[in-house]
Structures are given as C-alpha cells and as structure tokens.
C-alpha cells in the first residue's frame, strides 16, 4: 500500500480522547469517525480487496478459500484453479479428492472443498449458475456467512456492505466505534456510524491500517496517522498486550 509518510500529526495526544458509546456523544463520535475515514482515505488511496478475481463467482470461491489463509496464498492458487474449473458447474461436478489436492495449500482444504462444491451445486440448482445479489440469498450458500456475503456484495456488485474480518473488528474496537465482540453487532455499529456509500471502502481502509500499523499484537501507535483521535492510542504494554489499567 502506498503511504504518505506524514509524521506531524502522529504524536501522543495531549488530551485524552473519550472512548466508546456510553461516554462519547453520538454526534461527537460521528465527527471523529468522519475525520478518521478521511485520514485513512488519504493514507491508503489504493486500498482495495487483495484477492484477484474476474467474476463474482471467482471472488466467491477466492473468499471461501481465504479463510485462515493469506490473500497472497489464495492468489497463487486461484489462476490454475479457475482454468481447471471455469464455472460453477465445473466445481459442482468436481472430484472431491482431486479438488482437495488442488486447494490443499490454502489450509482447511477438506472443509473448503465441501463448501466450494456444495456452494457451486446450489448456484447451479437454485440460481441458474449465477451468484445472487442479495444478502439473504447469499447466506443460503454453504461456506458463506455475513462477512463473505458483504465482500461479494461490495466488491463484485458495488452494493455497499461492511465485511467484519479480524482487522475490521479490531480497528472498530480500538477506535472506540463499538463495544461489541460479535461481528454481526460490530457491523451494525459501523453501519450506523458511517455513510452507506463508504461501507465497502471503510473495510479496505481498516484492513490496510490493521495490516500495516494497528497490528493485533503490537500496534505502532507512535507512527499511526489517527493516534490523536484514537482512544486506545499508547495504551498497550511493551509486550503488545492491551494495558487494561489504562482502559481503552
């Protein structure tokens, strides 16, 4: 990801940023959220999904394969995979043992094989071989939860959705945009806070920042472009664990 390298605003905040819904007025939080969005958008102007795909179906398969696996690894597997199985019908009729070997390097390959084959069969049998465009329909497919459905809606169809993965959930919590742990509830909190047209890109921005700066174990608050607006800034111990005495 391209970054601007700005440093001037990356200082320990002089005044504590109030955090979380119970203490921070909703209107104040919305202003802070908008500012953070703008800062991230400037910091990561090229943020987008890291999975390679040409069609909604390819993105669907790639997203299923990306569970517990890096996007880079998935991108190494999918070109050959889609040459061998170019359509939902091809995957629906695949030999499971053979497909397991084809996707083995992405991990959890037995479950993923089952999901991809059954998902493809449903597409062929219920949706004419096309990926559906609604959350309710996508959720009927095996291997597809809200996160995957939102990835498909947002990135394949341009329908705004918030896909709460580990980075998005962690950033939402640390930035004081949610008190929830349940991804579905985090999704709702973020939907209420950000304009609909920004939902899909918000996820890309959070993922970019989560990978580059706000890592799970050791966030780099000292170089973070939103540290002045983050209630969790500099509240992690030297070991990277949240220092609970400092609160969040």
Annotated catalytic residue 71: no
How many CB atoms are closer than 10 A to CB 85? 21
Query: Residue 43 and residue 79: Cα distance in Å, rounded?
Result: 30
Residues 156-195 that bind ligand SF4 (CB under 6 A): 174-175
- Regarding 227 and contact with ligand SF4 (CB under 6 A), the answer is yes
Binding track over 137-156 against ligand SF4, x by CB under 6 A: --------------------
Residues 4-63 that bind ligand SF4 (CB under 6 A): none
- Regarding 226 and contact with ligand SF4 (CB under 6 A), the answer is yes
* Residues, the chain: 248
Provide the minimum distance between the beta carbon of 14 and ligand SF4 in the complex, in angstroms, as a whole number: 14
What are the two backbone dihedrals, phi and then psi, of residue 240, each rounded to the nearest 5 degrees? 90, 0
Distances (CA, A) of 69 to 15, 56, 136, 194, 200: 40, 20, 26, 29, 21
Q: Smaller CB distance to ligand SF4: residue 10 or 133?
A: 10
What are the two backbone dihedrals, phi and then psi, of residue 242, each rounded to the nearest 5 degrees? -60, 130
On whether the CB atoms of residues 175 and 232 are closer than 8 A, the answer is yes
Tell me how many residues contact ligand SF4 (CB under 6 A). Answer: 13
Binding track over 194-223 against ligand SF4, x by CB under 6 A: -------------------xx----xxx--
DSSP designation for 18 = P
**The only residue of 230, 237, 241, 242 in contact with ligand SF4, by rule CB under 6 A:** 230
- The site for ligand SF4 (CB under 6 A) is made up of 174-175, 213-214, 219-221, 224, 226-227, 230, 232-233
């Amino acid at each position: 990801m391209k970054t601007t390298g700005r440093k001037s605003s990356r200082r320990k905040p002089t005044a504590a940023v109030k955090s979380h819904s119970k203490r921070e007025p909703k209107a104040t939080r919305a202003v802070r959220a908008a500012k953070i969005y703008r800062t991230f958008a400037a910091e990561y102007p090229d943020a987008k999904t890291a999975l390679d795909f040409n069609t909604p179906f390819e993105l669907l398969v790639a997203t299923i394969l990306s569970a517990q696996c890096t996007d880079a690894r998935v991108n190494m597997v999918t070109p050959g995979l889609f040459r061998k199985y170019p359509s939902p019908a091809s995957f629906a009729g695949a030999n499971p043992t053979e497909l397991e070997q084809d996707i083995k390097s992405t991990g959890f390959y037995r479950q993923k094989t089952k999901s991809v084959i059954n998902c493809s069969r449903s597409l062929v049998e219920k949706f004419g071989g096309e990926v559906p465009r609604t959350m309710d329909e996508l959720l009927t497919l095996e291997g597809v939860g809200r996160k995957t459905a939102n990835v498909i809606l947002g990135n394949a169809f341009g329908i705004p959705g918030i896909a709460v993965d580990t980075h998005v959930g962690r950033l939402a919590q640390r930035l004081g945009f949610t008190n929830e742990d349940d991804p579905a509830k985090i999704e709702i909190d973020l939907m209420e806070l950000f304009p609909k047209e920004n939902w899909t890109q918000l996820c890309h921005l959070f993922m970019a920042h989560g990978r580059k700066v706000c890592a799970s174990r050791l966030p780099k608050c000292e170089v973070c472009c939103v540290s002045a607006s983050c209630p969790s800034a500099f509240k992690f111990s030297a070991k990277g664990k949240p220092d609970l005495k400092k609160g969040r």
